[in-house]
Structure formats: C-alpha cells, structure tokens
C-alpha cells in the first residue's frame, strides 16, 4: 500500500508538470519522460535476480529503495510556473475534482481508458504463459517479453514526435494508435510459433507504448492544461479498475476455454471499445489546428480557455 501511494504521488504530478512546462510540445515531452520507464524496466530485469542472489530479498529491497530515493532529488528540481494571465483582485476559481466529475468529455475520456486498460496489460501479464502454450521454452518466452518491453520505449518517443507535427489533432493520433493496438491484440492468437508470436509481440509493444504519452497529453486537450494534474490523478483512479480486472478476467477465460485465444480477443475488444469513445470528444473532428496551438483543437483565446471555469458539458 505505501509503495502504491508513493508511486501515485510521484507519477501524477510529474506528468502534470511536464505537460505544463512544454505546452507547444506536450506530446513529445511526455513521450520522452515516460520512455524512462521502459529503460528502467529492461535494466531491472537482470539486476533484480542478481541482487536477490547476492544480498537476499531484504538487501535487494533496501537497494531498490535507495534507488527510489533519488526521486526526492528529481522532484526538488520541479518548480511551479507563474500564471501570467492572472491579475490582482479577488481569488479566481480553482480547478477541483467536483468540477471534473461534472465534465462530460472528461468522464468519457476516463471511461475510454478504463476499457483500454482492461485489455492493455493482458499481453504483458499473460504473454509468457502464451509463449509456453505455443511451445516456447523459458529462454524464448523470456525473449518475447523482453522484445515487447524494448520496443515499448521506442513507441513512446515515436508517437510523441509524430503528434508534435502540426498537421493532425492529437486526439486523432491517440485514436489511431488505440485502434492499431486493439487490432494487433486481436491478431496475437495467430502467433502459433516462436517467430510469429515474436513478430506480433514487437508490433504490439510498439503500438502499446505509443498510447502512453498521447493518453496523458490528451487530457490537456479535453480539460485544459491548468487542470492537468487534477484530471490525470482522477483519470488514473478510474482506469485502475480496468487495470485490476483485465488480467484476472483474461486468466479466467483461459481456465474456462483451455486456451488464451478468447482472452486476447476479449482484450482487443476492450481496446477497440475504448477507442470508439475517443470519437465522441470535442475537437476530434476539427480539420485543422489553430495557429496559436500545436496540441490540437482551436487556438486559445488571448486569456486562454484554461483560465476559465470548467464547463459542465453533457
């Protein structure tokens, strides 16, 4: 419980701060920031067994805790940005969770990622078991999982870079990657050999990684950058239900059917259902971006829409 709380207290404000620091290149900056998770995941894979063998589980946990304490120094480097548009006078309305709970587009966006997360983690949790199911030994099964994790980081950076191009609104990029991830997940049961499964795992890892920075950058498209930290925290609370239920549900389907085929098909269906909700968001069908905004939608008014009270839209 304390570990999960600490992770939440670090992850949410970090992403919110990155989004506030780089409004013109929000997707790319977020992609670079979250790509570190893939690098650390690959590094800790071989490191943790070595620590366990050398120091035992208590010593390994102490060393991992010492590594995590470096987040304190990193967090100390973050500074709030001045709000230049504010003028002297009575305090203005501040963003609140209650306002977000009445904001229709945000609630649809959060629900979209509840559905996405219900399928997203299934290959990462059950991929090794699926590899054994098609006849892979321990080494090849581990290679499939390592390859999927490796290309995940590349997908995060690539999607952020592509979304920074001014030709297409960010929400369309997000929809495209969500659909590609869902379709690849639907195709995973076709990987009935090591080579086929490895190829599909590489494609899935790249597409799944591409979703991550666009998901968090897209929050600002829906509610505005000024409410980014509140919205990211609330969205992650909602989507945790999908994350918690998706992998066990896939495991239950495997027990019932005797194969992972239905598990992956159901996971892909969840992803595609979530992507359809993105179509309902305001700004998705804008044909061009405003000259004052590189993050999609219309250019903000001189005072910026992020400084106005959040509307309660249906």
Residues 197-223 have pLDDT tens digits of: 999 999 999 999 999 999 999 998 899
Mean pLDDT of the chain: 83
Alpha helices in 121-260 (DSSP H): 122-133, 138-163, 170-187, 194-223, 228-257
Any domain includes 58: yes
Using DSSP's 3-state secondary structure scheme, residue 259 falls into coil
pLDDT of the residue at 295: 37
pTM, rounded to two decimals? 0.81
Any domain includes 216: yes
CA 123, 273, 114, 245 dihedral sign is negative
Q: Does pLDDT of 297 surpass 70?
A: no
Any domain includes 3: yes
pLDDT of the residue at 92: 53
Q: 214 lies in which domain range?
A: 1-76+102-279
Contact criterion met (CB below 8 Å) for 275 and 116: yes
Any domain includes 304: no
Any domain includes 7: yes
Task: Tell me the pLDDT tens digit for each residue of 16-58.
Answer: 888 888 888 888 888 888 887 777 777 777 788 888 888 898 9
Any domain includes 270: yes
DSSP code, position 189: G
Q: What CATH number is attached to the domain comprising 134?
A: 1.20.1250.20
Any domain includes 310: no
Any domain includes 300: no
Lowest mean pLDDT among 72-81, 160-169, 179-188, 299-308: 299-308
pLDDT of the residue at 20: 82
Of 18 and 173, the structure prediction assigns the larger pLDDT to 173
The structure tokens listed for 292 are 């004052």
Alpha-carbon gap, residue 268 to 181, rounded angstroms: 8
Q: Does pLDDT of 4 surpass 70?
A: yes
- Work out how many domains the chain is built from and give that number: 1
Task: Tell me the pLDDT tens digit for each residue of 176-195.
Answer: 999 999 999 999 999 999 99
- Report the 10 Å Cβ neighbour count for 133: 17
């Amino acid at each position: 419980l304390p570990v999960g709380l600490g992770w939440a207290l670090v992850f949410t404000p970090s992403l919110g701060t990155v989004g506030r620091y780089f409004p013109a290149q929000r997707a790319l900056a977020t992609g670079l920031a979250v790509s570190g998770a893939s690098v650390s995941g690959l590094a800790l894979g071989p490191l943790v067994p070595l620590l366990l063998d050398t120091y035992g589980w208590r010593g390994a946990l102490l060393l991992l805790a010492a590594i995590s304490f470096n987040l304190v120094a990193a967090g100390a480097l973050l500074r709030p940005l001045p709000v230049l548009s504010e003028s002297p006078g009575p305090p203005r309305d501040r963003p609140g969770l209650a306002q977000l709970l009445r904001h229709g587009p945000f609630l649809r966006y959060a629900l979209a990622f509840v559905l996405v997360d219900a399928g997203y983690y299934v290959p990462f949790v059950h991929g090794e078991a699926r590899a054994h199911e098609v006849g892979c030994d321990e080494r090849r099964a581990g290679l499939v999982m390592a390859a999927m994790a490796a290309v995940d980081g590349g997908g995060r950076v690539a999607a952020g870079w592509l979304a920074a191009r001014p030709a297409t609104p960010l929400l369309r990029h997000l929809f495209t990657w969500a659909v590609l991830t869902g379709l690849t997940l639907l195709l995973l049961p076709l990987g009935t050999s090591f080579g086929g499964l490895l190829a599909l795992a590489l494609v899935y890892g790249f597409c799944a990684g591409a979703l991550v920075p666009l998901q968090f950058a897209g929050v600002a498209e829906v509610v505005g950058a000024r409410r980014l930290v509140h919205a990211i925290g609330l969205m992650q609370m909602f989507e945790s239900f999908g994350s918690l239920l998706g992998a066990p549900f896939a495991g239950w389907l495997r027990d019932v059917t005797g194969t992972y085929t239905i598990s992956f098909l159901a996971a892909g269906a969840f992803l595609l259902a979530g992507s359809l909700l993105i179509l309902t968001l305001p700004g998705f069908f804008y044909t061009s971006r405003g000259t004052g905004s590189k993050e999609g939608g219309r250019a903000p008014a001189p005072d910026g829409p992020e400084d106005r009270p959040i509307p309660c839209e249906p």
